[in-house]
Structure 1
Amino acid sequence: MKATVAVFGFLRFPAENIKALLPHLQVFVKATQEHDGCILYEVGTDPFDKGLIRFSELWPNRESLDKHLVAAHIEPWRVQAKKYGLIEREFNSYEISSVAMRV
């Protein structure tokens, strides 16, 4: 399946809350990967900024991304993110207009 939308973003939490937050993030990511039609949905903690979680996403189209944003597992994740002290959230989506080049 060809990706036409890429999303990159991050969430920032108090560093001391990351360990307790990760099981909730794992449930959310697994649900997204299994049910939302994404091509790629990856997250990772930043090794140099202990409170930062980075997201990389590829979607087949804007409609799939829009459906993801209102999926049933979004709200429980947002509740947990708030509970564990979400400080900052930034996500940007991009339309992919060329073929990826592997290096």
Structure 2
Amino acid sequence: MTLNETQIVVIAEFVAKDGEEQQLIDNLFALVEPTHQEGGCIRYELNQDLDRPQVITFIEKWHSRETLDQHIAKPYIQNFFNGAGPRKPKHTESFTVTFHREFLH
């Protein structure tokens, strides 16, 4: 079996401040449409944890690291992350973003 490197996958998990879940969802949802217009975007979906509704997660897939880097540099992404101070989005208690390579066989 040979593994072939394919796209870049991003998992971005945001934890809303108490009582601010809907505001965070609204802010995140505003990123969906412009991101879907980006040429390198394969998948960009917003999810809410069933057991912990304050946890909101993006599952993303990009053609390459280059197209992901172009996405990260977009003004609407930069504005989102700088919304409530340096690199902390508005209505967010905490967040983690991890980057992965997808392998298919």
Moved over 6 A (4+): none
Task: Provide the residue aligned with 1:83 in structure 2.
Answer: 90
Q: What's the CA shift for 1:15?
A: 4.0
Unaligned runs of 5+ in 1: none
Give the aligned residue type for 1:22. Answer: I
Task: Provide the residue aligned with 2:16 in structure 1.
Answer: 13
Unaligned runs of 5+ in 2: 1-5
3-state SS in 2 of match to 1:90? strand
Give the TM-score normalised by the residue count of structure 2: 0.78
Task: Provide the residue aligned with 2:101 in structure 1.
Answer: 95
2:43 pairs with one of 36, 40, 44: 40
- What's the CA shift string for 1:56-97, capped at 9, x where partnerless? 11110010011111111112222166332x121111111223
1:49 pairs with one of 47, 52, 65: 52
Within 1, Cα distance between the matches of 2:90 and 2:98?
24
Within 1, Cα distance between the matches of 2:38 and 2:103?
25
Give the aligned residue type for 1:59. Answer: W
- Identical positions, percent: 23
Give the aligned residue type for 1:82. Answer: P
